[in-house]
Structures are given as structure tokens and as C-alpha cells.
Amino acid sequence: MSGVRLKDTVTGIESTLSAGGAFIAIGHKPNTDYLKGVIELDAKGYVIIKSQQLTEKLKSDKSQDAEVNPMLKPQTETSVPGVFAAGDCVDPRYRQAIVAAGMGCMAAMDAEKWLAEHA
């Protein structure tokens, strides 16, 4: 590699920047376009799960603390009953493998409980 060819997307002017290496940054956009209109997503495309909604409710409604304690509810439930989500597609903050794996376990347990209750 000797450099990169650049094109200004506003003016259309092309130039060359000398460089001995390049770092390609990936993993910053959740691959959830196919879920649009099916499951509730936030403005950046992350799947919204109940724990986030419950935490927001808890902040805005102090009188309901006991009733809406997020830890008492299924944490990984999406806007569609019986559909649970975990990992990077719901997590704009940590985006780490161990967090995704732990959440995967939570989603599996939430799904198992949901199936038992709706069988």
C-alpha cells in the first residue's frame, strides 16, 4: 500500500494521500435493517428491549419503583411478544463478546420462561 485515493463527495475533487497502512473500522452499525417495521428499533437501528424501557419508566415515575423494578421483569423481551434479543444488536454501549454471551444466556432463559407460560 502506498496511499489512498480520496474523492470529496461535495465538490467531486479527487486527490491522493500517501499512507503506509490503513485501519478499517467495522462493527459500528447494527445489522438490523431487515427488522424495520417488525420490531421496535431506536434511531440508530438498535433493537429496543424491555429492560431499557423499564429503566426509562423507573426514572420518570418514582412512585412506581417497586412495580417497575427492571430486575423483576424479563430483560431481553422486544416489542414483539415471544421475541427476545441480546448482544451487539441491542447494545450501543459495551459491544463486547462477553457481554453479548451473557445476554444470550438471559435471552434464552427469558424465552424458555415465556414458552412455559404460553404453552
* CA–CA gap between residue 71 and residue 53 (Å, rounded): 12
Per-residue contact flags (x/-) with ligand FAD for residues 12 to 51, judged by CB under 6 A: --------------xx---x--x-----------------
Grid coordinates belonging to 104: 444470550
The burial class, CB within 10 Å (0-12 / 13-18 / 19+), for 73 is middle
Nearer to ligand FAD, 100 or 111 (CB): 100
Task: Based on the shown chain and the rule CB under 6 A, indicate whether residue 110 belongs to the binding site for ligand FAD.
Answer: no
What's the rounded Cα separation, in Å, for the pair 90 and 78? Answer: 10
**DSSP H/E element including 110:** helix 97-118
- Tell me the three cell numbers of residue 25: 473500522
Taking CB under 6 A as the criterion, the residue among 19, 38, 80, 97 binding ligand FAD is: 97
C-beta of 47: minimal distance to ligand FAD in Å?
10
For ligand FAD, the closer CB: 9 or 34: 34
Chain positions contacting ligand FAD, by CB under 6 A: 26-27, 31, 34, 87-88, 95-98, 100
